[in-house]
Structure 1
């Protein structure tokens, strides 16, 4: 909730929103003020969860994003079926661009490979240092923003 509020406070000043944070999908429904102690019964305490707000979907559904004034980019770190999962996530979140990768293969590594998924299909950015992929991604977003500005003129 805190991150959603921080993002919503800054979004009116942004042209691009790149959602790279891996915010947990769920949080504990209740918290204890003090340690939950064993009572000798062997009963396991009940642990319930509630869904966290979907920051990317919320921002992508905003008036500015729907009007094209805020370009939203999502990320998907998957363990398999990257294209299928990334395409489904892009549609579900309502973003024009989703960047996917095979997460476990790149954790702790200096390089990565990315898959850019949009409404027209997908394009691979081959394995390269992560800093280089970041530059390529920013250049691609800038190109897309330039195309959008030209289309609006």
Structure 2
């Protein structure tokens, strides 16, 4: 089976030296890629900027911005049987990138932001993907409510929801604890464990869903 996985953050440039980003380390997406490879799946990993070593035996596509990730997914998604969107893609980017470094001046600075491309939301409606579609929902409140809403709106087979307000899991951590949200309001709690161990369980579940 061919599995496409996105991982890491995106960086949205403000000027030549600054950008908007988030705290994603990419560890969960990379763990999923390694777990899929270990199960002898063919893996395409589309990664934002991370400090992790490239996993061996996979096809790694490096991108920087949300638009670049969107274009890479559009290019590679048709070959996949399952797609796991684990990247923490910026929701907004600066409407205008300054050509020169913005200098310190007034006491306040107002930035105009515009929406970035909705990669997960485009998988079905724009890219025509028919395979198993899995998304992540990193939330700080109303975890299940937001995840179930995302599942329906974006046509997913599974949303993996995690509460990133909890210390020691999620962003910047080697551990995670998630709740699986499936169609029909079904949920399954997966307890705190290493991201590597969690990835192994998730790949087995997603393989069954894809088949």
Q: TM tier, shorter chain?
A: 0.7 to 0.9
Alpha-carbon shift at residue 36 of structure 1 (Å): 3.2
Which residue pairs with 2:125 in the alignment?
Answer: 61
**1:22-101 alignment, distance < 5 Å:** 22-37=88-103, 42=106, 44-62=108-126, 64-65=128-129, 68=130, 70-101=131-162
Q: Which segments of 5 or more consecutive residues in structure 2 lack a partner in the other structure? A: 1-66
How far, CA to CA, are the matches of 2:162 and 2:207 in structure 1?
21
Alpha-carbon shift at residue 46 of structure 1 (Å): 3.9
Q: In terms of Rg, which structure is larger?
A: 1
Determine which structure has the larger helix proportion and give its number: 1
How far, CA to CA, are the matches of 2:73 and 2:132 in structure 1?
14
Q: Which segments of 5 or more consecutive residues in structure 1 lack a partner in the other structure? A: 147-153
Which residue pairs with 1:144 in the alignment?
Answer: 209
How far, CA to CA, are the matches of 1:22 and 1:102 in structure 2?
14
Determine whether 1:21 maps to 2:82. no
Q: TM-score, normalised by structure 2?
A: 0.61
Q: TM-score, normalised by structure 1?
A: 0.83
Higher RCO structure (Cα 8 Å, ≥6 apart): 2
Please report the RMSD computed on the Cα atoms of aligned residues, expressed in angstroms.
Answer: 1.8
Count of aligned positions: 141
Residues 138 and 162 of structure 2 are in contact (CA less than 8 Å); yes or no, is this contact kept in structure 1?
yes
How far, CA to CA, are the matches of 2:173 and 2:101 in structure 1?
38
Which residue pairs with 1:151 in the alignment?
Answer: none
